[in-house]
Chains A and B, each alone.
Chain A
Amino acid sequence: MTRARLPLYAFLVLLFVGFLAPLVWALSGSFKPRGEIFGYPPELVPDPFTLDNYRTLLTEQPFGRWFLMSTVVAVVATTVSVFVCALAGYGFAKFRFAGRRLLFNVMFSSLSIPFAVILVPLFVILVKTGLGSPWFALIVPWVAPAFGIFMMQQYIVQSIPDSVLEAARIDGASEFGIFRTIVLPLLRPSLGALAVWQFLQSYNSFLWPLVLVSDSSQYTLPLGLQTLFVSEQRQYDLVLAGAVLAVLPAVALFVVLRKQLLEGLSTGAVKG
């Protein structure tokens, strides 16, 4: 490292600390007894160190059920949405058809519709039609994100040569057969990126479950933790431990698949 680079690395280290400090602070707090979380002066290393928060949370609260609910919803939503996005992305990337331009613009402009606009009517519609069950309402309306279709379309344009498709057509393969046996395998890296992103979106979503789920046996993780926080008179100990546990799988998933995700996310925005 040359001396000229010193300010640069100092800057990067400072940011590193700034971005990770709140997470370390949460982790540290989750091992402190209730009275010590707000101890003064603040201590980074918990003293006394306790696992009671985790123990109480896991034995006295339905943490496992919340976790299961969140995970199953997120996995199902992710699987379906990756498939739907790949289908539509392929349709837009590799076919020319009447109305293509208009349909693409309609899809693309739905990115600019704020969720808050459909929050109230969607809730009303689903409840009135008897489709308000979390298994339907937390999953089905969210499986066709325009962002994912756009990402897939960009990736397919770049990475799938027309000659491969044409050769398969000459061999007499059906259009869906081509998609399933040729396109999907070639798309694997970007499907992975989209899947991680969709999973995180669903797993972390808060506003929609907050509005929709009223039965406490169907709470998702964020909802269960929020309710616990309110019912404990805003005491941090249990909820902090729960939030740390909730975040671990998300962060682990991201760290393991970060290369795919970061490159996949920026593909659509940068190249083309």
Chain B
Amino acid sequence: MTTTATAPPGITHEHGGTGSTAHRPRKSWAPYLFISPFYLLYVLFMLVPVGVSLWLSLTEWVGLGTPRWVGLRNYRLLATDISFHRALGNTAVFVLVAVCVVVPLALFIAQALNTRGLRVRDLWRTAYFVPIVVSPILVALVFGLIFDRQFGLANAVLRALFGTGGVDWLGDPGWARVSIALVMLWRWTGYLTVFFLAGLQNVPRELYEAAALDGAGRLRTFTTVTLPALKPVTAFVVVTSFIGAAQIFEEPYLLTGGGPAESTLSVTMFIYRAAFQRQQFGYAAAAAVVLFVLVFGLSRLFNRLLGIGRATS
């Protein structure tokens, strides 16, 4: 997402010659018709649900009958609910893993793939991307096999290499989080690499040549040429991974069920559990509103800090 993301694209063309007539403001209903299907769906399936969520969060409701108005009680309960605190904490850990481990690793791999004259680049890029197109069910099944305490591949490999491999991957609270983080790493890194690689391929070669003439070393070149040029891509990747990790559900739900002892329970799982397993729809809605405020607020803040969606070009 570049800085032109929200800049009217027309502006850049407008100082052109004869072709600019298309951009003269025309009194026409055509553009509104073109964007109307999106807004219809947006209002019905996004705005209305968010509104209903706000209202539901102020009620108590088991899914039948009429919701009973309880004011802010759900929020007060959330504030002292240890499970919800755990869910927030775990989700924060997953977000940190995504932003501070997965994203830098993806950049590192993209750097490697951007080496001039690299052979079979397409093969590497394709293979690294495959995990994201795989159904979450298969991901959960195969990592369930790999992380099995007694017979799993992970411990077998550890045993062969280091002579010790009794790690209780999915049964120990600390290791369970590590396991989820490893699955996230496996699923998301190659996907994000693609964005960084495209960004790197867009950096003008002259910039590197100039840096080389100035005698800049590899690290200097990286910090003074590569990173600034990658800022828009990095911003996009960071915000995308933040939003993705903040609503993580499939990995913990399918692999650990949120356990052991809620050590991998995420906020989305908390919401799912409250609504669809415990019939506490109002309570679930309140948790959802908290998540909404956190994710929407923070991602807007990131956007501002990183300069996405600003109309400078």
Chain A interface (Cβ < 8 Å from any Cβ of B): 1, 5, 8-9, 11-12, 15-16, 18-20, 22-23, 25-26, 29, 37-42, 84-85, 87-88, 90-97, 100-101, 103-125, 140-141, 143-144, 149-150, 153, 157, 161-163, 165-166, 169, 175-176, 179, 200, 203-204, 206-207, 211, 221-222, 225-226, 229, 236, 239-240, 243-244, 246-247, 250-251, 253-255, 258-259, 262-263, 265-272
Stretch at the interface among B71-79, B143-151, B216-224: B143-151
Query: In the complex, are the beta carbons of B284 and A120 less than 8 A apart?
Result: yes
Residue from the set A25, A114, A157, A166 with the largest chain B CB neighbour count within 10 Å: A114
* B6 proximal to A (CB < 8 A): yes
Q: Is A272 touching B2 in the complex (CB atoms < 8 A)?
A: yes
* Cβ B138 vs Cβ A243 within 8 A: yes
Do A97 and B130 touch (CB < 8 A)?
no
Could you say which residues of chain B place their CB within 8 Å of the CB of A87? 34-35, 37-38
Complex: A162 Cα to B42 Cα, angstroms = 29
Q: Which residues of B contact A42 (CB under 8 A)?
A: 151, 153, 156
Residue in B42, B118, B125, B291 whose beta carbon sits within 8 Å of that of A116 in the complex = B291
Contacting B39 at CB < 8 Å: which of A18, A103, A153, A267? A103
Within the complex, which residue of A18, A250, A262 is in contact with B134, where a contact is CB–CB below 8 Å?
A250
Residues of A within 8 A of B145 (CB): 25-26, 29, 37-38, 236, 240
Chain B residues with CB under 8 Å of A250's CB are 133-135
Of the candidates B49, B53, B198, the one whose C-beta lies within 8 Å of that of A263 is B198
> Would you call B281 and A120 a contact (CB within 8 A)?
yes
Interface size on B, residues (CB 8 A): 116
Asked whether A162 lies within 8 Å of B23 as measured between CB atoms, the reply is: yes
Residues of A within 8 A of B26 (CB): 95-96
Q: Is the interface of A mostly helix, strand, loop or mixed?
A: helix
In the complex, are the beta carbons of B195 and A270 less than 8 A apart? yes
Contact indicator B38/A222 (Cβ below 8 Å): no
Give chain B residues whose Cβ lies under 8 Å from the Cβ of A115.
Answer: 247, 268
Tell whether, in the assembled complex, residue A22 and residue B143 are in contact, meaning their CB atoms are under 8 Å apart: yes
| B113 and chain A: residue at smallest CB distance | A12
| CB–CB A204/B37 < 8 A | no
Encode contact with A along B111-129: 1 for CB under 8 Å, 0 otherwise: 0110100110011111111
Contact call B136/A120, Cβ cutoff below 8 A: no
Partner of B243, one of A1, A91, A111: A111
Q: Which residue of A lies closest to B303 (CB)?
A: A112
> A116 to nearest B CB, angstroms?
4
Among candidates B20, B128, B141, residue contacting A26 with C-beta atoms closer than 8 Å:
B141
Q: How far is the CB of B9 from chain A (nearest CB, A)?
A: 4
Q: Do A23 and B25 touch (CB < 8 A)?
A: no
Q: Which of B2, B30, B138, B237 contacts A175 (CB 8 A)?
A: B30
**Pairwise interchain contact B156-A41, C-beta atoms closer than 8 A:** yes
**Chain A residue at minimum C-beta to C-beta distance from B129:** A262
**A16-B124, A23-B134, A269-B237 known; A95+B194 contact, CB < 8 A:** no
Distance of A180 Cα from B142 Cα, bound (Å)? 45
Say yes or no: A113 contacts B23, CB within 8 Å: no
Q: Is the CB of B19 within 8 A of A162?
A: yes
Interface residues of B in 218-256 (CB under 8 A from A): 232-233, 236-237, 239, 243, 246-247, 249-250, 253-254
